[in-house]
C-alpha cells in the first residue's frame, strides 16, 4: 500500500476519505511518525485507553461543558465592558488591545498545543491550562491600570489556548465513539449560549455593581473545572503503553516553526496596531515591522513544508480545495463576528446613549438568532447530508445583515436595528459550523485533527488582524471627523479619554458632532465586517458537494 509522503506533494486521492481504507501497516507507520522517531510499533487499538463510563464520564463531561461555557463567557463579555474600561482607565487608544492581546496569546500557541497533547498527559495539560487561565483572570480582575488589564488578558489567552485545544482531544479519547456526535453537538450549544448571554450577564453585573465581579466569577468557575477534571479522570495519554521519552518529546516539537511564528505574529500585530495611530504608515518603524512580517511568513511556509509530519501545519492538506476554502470561509466569518461583537456595543452605548445593561439587551437579537440557527443548521445538515446549503444561505444572509447594519444612524429606529441584527445573526449562525464539516468530508480520519487545528489557527489569526485593522480605522476616522467639525480640537484628547467621555469635553453646540463622529467611525468598521463576510460567501461556492451520509455508509 502507498503511504503518504510527508516531505512531498500529496495526491488528492490519497487525501480523500473515499480512497482505499488505511491498513494496519500504514496505521503503524503513521503512528511511528506521530511518535517522532519511536521505533516500536505504535497505537494498536487494543492498547489504547478505554473510554470512561458511569459517574466519572458524567463528571468529566460536566466539567468540560462548564469549561467551555467559562471560556465563552470570558471572550464574549469584553465587548460589553469596553466602554466602561476605556472610561475608567482613560485609555481609548487601548480599545483594540483588550481583545487583540487575548486573541494573540490564544492563537499563537494553538498549533504547538496540539502537539503537546499528543506527547504529554492530557489531564495534566488541561488542568495546567486552566491554572494559567485562572491566574490571568485574577490579574484582570485586580488590574489597577489599562496596561495591567491587557497583561491579564494575555495570560488568560495563553491558558485558553490549551483549554480549547485539549477539550475535543480529551473527548475523542475519553468518550465512547457512538455518543461523540451528540457530545460535540452539546459543546456547540454551550458555546452559543455563552456568546448569547455572556454580554447580557456581564452587562447586568457591571450595571448593578462592578465590572471586576465578572472576572472574579470566572476565577471561581475555572477553579471548579480544574478540580473536577483532576478527580474525574486518570492521566490520559494517546497510548498508555507506548510513550515517547523526554528527549523524543522535545525533538518532536516544531521548534523552528514556533521560533518563526511567534515573532511573525508579534510584528504583524504591532505594525497594524501602530500604523496610522501611533505612527504614520510611512514611518520607518511600520515599514520595518511589516517587511519583517512578510519575510517571516515566507520563511515559515518553507520551514513547515520541509518539516513534513513534524511541522505544526501539515501543508499538503491545503491542496484539497475543501480544506483551503473552508479555512477562508471560516476565518472570514470568525473575524467579521469579532469586529461586530466589539463595535456594536460601542454604537449602542456611545451613539445611542445606552448603559451597559441596556446595551447587552440591545445586542441580544444578534446573539440569540446566531445561537438558535447554529444549532438548527447542524440538525438540518445531519438530515439532508450536505453542509453546502446552510453555508451558502447563511453567507448570503450575513452579507445582507452586515450591509444593513452599516447604515445605522444615531436615530435609527428600534425595528430596524433589531431586524438588521437578526439578519446577520441568522446568517452567521448558519455559516459558522459548516467549514468544520467540509474539512472532514474529503480527508482521511488521520488527517482531520491537523486540518481542524489549522482552521482554528487561521480563525484566531484573522480575528487578531482585523481587530487591529478595525481599531486603526476607528481611531483614524474618529479623530479626523472631530478635527474637521470641531474648531481647535486636539486629536490627542480622543485617545486619552474613554469612549463616552468626549461628549462632555466639548461645548454644548458641538456635542451632536461628537455623536456623529463616533457613528461615522463605527460604520467604517462595519464596512470591514461586510467585506469579510462577502469574501466568506465567495469562498463557499468552490466547496465540493459531498454527502456526509454516504461517507458514513462507506465507513460502516
- Residue that is written with C-alpha cell 489556548 in the block: 161
CA dihedral (149, 165, 398, 412) in degrees, to 10, reads -20
- Do 259 and 249 share a structural domain? no
Residue 169 has pLDDT above 60, yes or no: yes
pLDDT one-digit tens code per residue, 61-77: 888 888 888 888 888 78
Residue 268 has pLDDT above 90, yes or no: no
Among 262, 248, 173, residue whose Cα is nearest residue 449: 173
CATH number of the domain residue 328 falls in: 1.20.1250.20
Among 333, 335, 336, 353, residue whose Cα is nearest residue 526: 336
- Do 216 and 86 share a structural domain? yes
- Do 321 and 199 share a structural domain? no
Residue 159 is predicted with a pLDDT of: 92
Q: Is there a domain that residue 295 lies in?
A: yes
Residue 397 is predicted with a pLDDT of: 95
Residue 217 in grid coordinates: 466569577
Q: Is there a domain that residue 499 lies in?
A: yes
Confidence of residue 537 (pLDDT cuts 50, 70, 90): very high
pTM of the full predicted structure? 0.75
Among 397, 390, 157, 179, residue whose Cα is nearest residue 265: 157
* Residue 192, CA distances (Å) to 135, 188, 306, 372, 375 in order: 25, 6, 39, 8, 8
Residue 262 has pLDDT above 80, yes or no: yes
Rounded to whole angstroms, the Cα distance separating 114 from 201 reads 32
Report whether 244 contacts 443 (CB < 8 A).
Answer: no
Q: Mean of the pLDDT values across residues 404-430?
A: 93
Partners of residue 279 on adjacent β-strands? 275
pLDDT mean across residues, the chain: 77
- Do 232 and 169 share a structural domain? yes
Residue 243 is predicted with a pLDDT of: 62
End-to-end C-alpha distance for the chain, whole angstroms: 21
Q: Is 279 strand, coil or helix?
A: strand
Conformation bin of residue 497: beta by default, left when phi > 0, alpha when psi is -120 to 50: beta
Residue 452 is predicted with a pLDDT of: 75
- Do 271 and 224 share a structural domain? no
Q: Is there a domain that residue 13 lies in?
A: no
**In 90-121, alpha helices (H):** 97-107, 110-119
Percent above pLDDT 70 for the chain: 77
Residue 22 is predicted with a pLDDT of: 36
- Residue that is written with C-alpha cell 464520564 in the block: 57
Among 24, 27, 40, residue whose Cα is nearest residue 245: 40
Residue 36 is predicted with a pLDDT of: 33
**In 3-53, alpha helices (H):** 12-15, 24-34
Least confident of 49-53, 316-320, 331-335, 483-487: 49-53
At which of 296, 311, 326 does a domain end?
311
Q: Is there a domain that residue 290 lies in?
A: yes
Determine the structural domain holding residue 327 and report its residue range: 314-556
- Do 323 and 248 share a structural domain? no
Q: Mean of the pLDDT values across residues 350-372?
A: 83
Residue 551 is predicted with a pLDDT of: 52
DSSP 431: H
Confidence of residue 404 (pLDDT cuts 50, 70, 90): very high
Residue 20 is predicted with a pLDDT of: 41
- Residue that is written with C-alpha cell 503512528 in the block: 31
The CB density around residue 353, as the number of other CB atoms within 10 Å, is 13
Q: Is there a domain that residue 138 lies in?
A: yes
Give DSSP secondary structure letters for 190-239. Answer: HHHHHHHHHHHHHHHHHHHS-THHHHHHHHHHHHHHHHHHHHH-----S-
Q: Is there a domain that residue 34 lies in?
A: no
- Do 158 and 125 share a structural domain? yes
Report whether 538 contacts 375 (CB < 8 A).
Answer: no
- Number of H-type helices and E-type strands within the chain: 23, 0
Confidence of residue 443 (pLDDT cuts 50, 70, 90): confident
Residue 238 has pLDDT above 80, yes or no: no
Confidence of residue 419 (pLDDT cuts 50, 70, 90): very high
* Size of the chain in residues: 556
Between 157 and 43, the higher pLDDT residue = 157
Q: Mean of the pLDDT values across residues 473-498?
A: 75
- Do 236 and 183 share a structural domain? yes
- Do 427 and 353 share a structural domain? yes
Residue 435 has pLDDT above 70, yes or no: yes
Q: Mean of the pLDDT values across residues 225-237?
A: 74
Residue 168 is predicted with a pLDDT of: 72
Q: Is there a domain that residue 9 lies in?
A: no
Structural domains of the chain, count = 3
Confidence of residue 235 (pLDDT cuts 50, 70, 90): low
Residue 2 has pLDDT above 50, yes or no: no
Residue 271 has pLDDT above 60, yes or no: yes
Rounded to whole angstroms, the Cα distance separating 429 from 398 reads 9
At which of 311, 330, 346 does a domain end?
311
Which residues have a Cβ under 8 Å from the Cβ of 531 and sit 6 or more positions away? none
Residue 279 has pLDDT above 60, yes or no: yes
Among 151, 39, 163, 31, residue whose Cα is nearest residue 102: 151
Residue 484 is predicted with a pLDDT of: 83
Least confident of 126-135, 237-246, 325-334: 237-246
Residue 62 is predicted with a pLDDT of: 85
Residue 268 in grid coordinates: 504583524
Rounded to whole angstroms, the Cα distance separating 390 from 379 reads 10
Report whether 103 contacts 386 (CB < 8 A).
Answer: no
Rounded to whole angstroms, the Cα distance separating 399 from 390 reads 14
Confidence of residue 90 (pLDDT cuts 50, 70, 90): confident
Between 62 and 199, the higher pLDDT residue = 62
Confidence of residue 14 (pLDDT cuts 50, 70, 90): very low
Residue 373 has pLDDT above 60, yes or no: yes
Residue 178 is predicted with a pLDDT of: 54
* Residue 396, CA distances (Å) to 115, 196, 390, 420 in order: 37, 22, 10, 13
CA dihedral (229, 233, 239, 240) in degrees, to 10, reads 130
Residue 55: enclosing H or E segment and its boundaries?
Answer: helix 54-76
Between 392 and 440, the higher pLDDT residue = 392
The CB density around residue 248, as the number of other CB atoms within 10 Å, is 14
Residue 189 is predicted with a pLDDT of: 67
Least confident of 202-211, 233-242, 280-289: 233-242
Residue 34 is predicted with a pLDDT of: 36
pLDDT one-digit tens code per residue, 22-42: 333 333 333 333 333 333 333
- Do 302 and 321 share a structural domain? no
At which of 311, 327, 347 does a domain end?
311
Least confident of 179-188, 350-359, 423-432, 525-534: 179-188
- Do 267 and 246 share a structural domain? no
- Do 259 and 246 share a structural domain? no
Which residues have a Cβ under 8 Å from the Cβ of 76 and sit 6 or more positions away? 194, 195, 198, 199, 202, 341
Between 369 and 14, the higher pLDDT residue = 369
DSSP 50: P
- Residue that is written with C-alpha cell 469562498 in the block: 539
Rounded to whole angstroms, the Cα distance separating 122 from 366 reads 35
Q: Is there a domain that residue 19 lies in?
A: no
Amino acid at each position: 500500500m502507498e503511504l503518504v509522503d510527508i516531505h512531498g506533494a500529496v495526491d488528492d486521492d490519497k487525501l480523500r476519505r473515499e480512497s482505499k481504507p488505511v491498513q494496519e501497516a500504514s496505521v503503524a507507520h503513521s503512528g511511528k511518525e506521530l511518535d517522532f522517531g519511536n521505533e516500536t510499533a505504535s497505537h494498536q487499538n487494543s492498547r489504547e485507553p478505554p473510554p470512561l463510563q458511569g459517574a466519572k464520564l458524567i463528571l468529566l463531561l460536566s466539567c468540560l461543558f462548564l469549561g467551555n461555557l467559562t471560556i465563552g463567557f470570558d471572550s464574549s463579555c469584553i465587548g460589553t465592558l469596553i466602554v466602561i474600561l476605556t472610561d475608567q482607565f482613560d485609555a481609548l487608544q487601548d480599545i483594540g488591545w483588550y481583545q487583540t492581546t487575548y486573541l494573540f496569546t490564544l492563537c499563537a500557541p494553538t498549533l504547538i498545543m496540539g502537539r503537546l497533547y499528543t506527547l504529554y498527559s492530557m489531564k495534566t495539560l488541561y488542568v495546567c491550562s486552566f491554572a494559567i487561565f485562572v491566574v490571568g483572570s485574577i490579574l484582570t480582575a485586580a488590574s489597577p491600570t489599562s496596561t495591567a488589564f491587557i497583561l491579564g488578558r494575555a495570560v488568560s489567552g495563553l491558558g485558553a489556548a490549551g483549554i480549547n485545544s485539549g477539550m475535543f482531544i480529551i473527548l475523542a479519547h475519553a468518550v465512547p465513539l457512538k455518543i461523540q456526535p451528540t457530545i460535540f453537538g452539546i459543546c456547540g450549544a454551550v458555546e452559543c449560549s455563552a456568546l448569547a448571554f455572556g454580554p447580557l450577564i456581564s452587562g447586568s453585573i457591571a450595571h448593578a455593581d462592578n465590572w471586576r465581579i465578572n472576572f472574579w466569577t470566572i476565577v471561581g468557575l475555572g477553579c471548579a473545572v480544574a478540580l473536577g477534571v483532576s478527580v474525574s479522570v486518570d492521566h490520559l495519554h494517546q497510548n498508555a503503553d507506548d510513550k515517547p521519552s523526554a528527549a523524543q518529546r522535545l525533538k518532536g516539537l516544531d521548534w523552528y516553526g514556533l521560533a518563526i511564528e511567534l515573532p511573525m505574529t508579534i510584528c504583524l500585530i504591532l505594525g497594524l496596531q501602530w500604523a496610522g495611530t501611533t505612527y504614520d504608515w510611512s514611518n520607518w518603524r511600520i515599514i520595518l515591522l511589516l517587511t519583517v512580517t512578510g519575510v517571516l511568513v515566507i520563511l515559515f511556509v518553507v520551514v513547515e513544508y520541509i518539516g513534513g509530519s513534524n511541522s505544526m501545519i501539515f501543508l499538503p492538506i491545503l491542496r484539497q480545495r475543501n480544506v483551503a476554502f473552508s479555512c477562508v470561509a471560516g476565518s472570514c466569518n470568525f473575524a467579521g463576528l469579532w469586529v461586530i461583537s466589539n463595535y456594536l456595543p460601542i454604537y449602542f452605548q456611545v451613539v445611542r446613549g445606552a448603559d451597559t445593561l441596556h446595551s447587552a439587551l440591545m445586542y441580544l437579537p444578534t446573539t440569540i438568532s446566531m445561537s438558535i440557527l447554529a444549532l438548527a443548521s447542524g440538525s438540518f445538515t445531519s438530515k439532508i447530508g450536505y453542509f453546502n446549503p446552510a453555508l451558502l444561505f447563511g453567507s448570503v444572509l450575513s452579507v445582507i445583515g452586515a450591509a444593513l447594519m452599516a447604515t445605522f444612524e444615531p436615530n435609527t429606529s428600534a425595528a430596524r436595528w433589531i431586524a438588521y441584527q437578526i439578519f446577520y445573526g441568522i446568517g452567521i449562525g448558519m455559516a459558522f459550523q459548516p467549514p468544520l464539516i467540509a474539512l472532514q468530508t474529503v480527508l482521511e480520519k488521520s488527517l482531520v485533527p491537523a486540518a481542524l487545528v489549522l482552521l482554528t489557527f487561521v480563525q484566531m489569526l484573522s480575528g487578531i488582524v482585523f481587530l487591529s485593522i478595525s481599531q486603526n480605522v476607528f481611531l483614524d476616522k474618529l479623530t479626523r471627523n472631530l478635527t474637521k467639525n470641531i474648531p481647535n480640537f486636539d486629536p490627542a484628547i480622543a485617545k486619552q479619554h474613554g469612549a463616552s467621555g468626549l461628549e462632555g469635553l466639548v461645548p454644548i453646540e458641538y456635542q451632536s458632532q461628537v455623536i456623529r463622529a463616533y457613528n461615522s467611525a463605527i460604520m467604517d468598521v462595519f464596512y470591514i465586517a461586510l467585506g469579510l463576510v462577502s469574501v466568506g460567501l465567495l469562498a463557499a461556492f468552490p466547496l465540493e458537494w459531498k454527502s456526509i451520509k454516504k461517507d458514513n455508509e462507506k465507513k460502516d
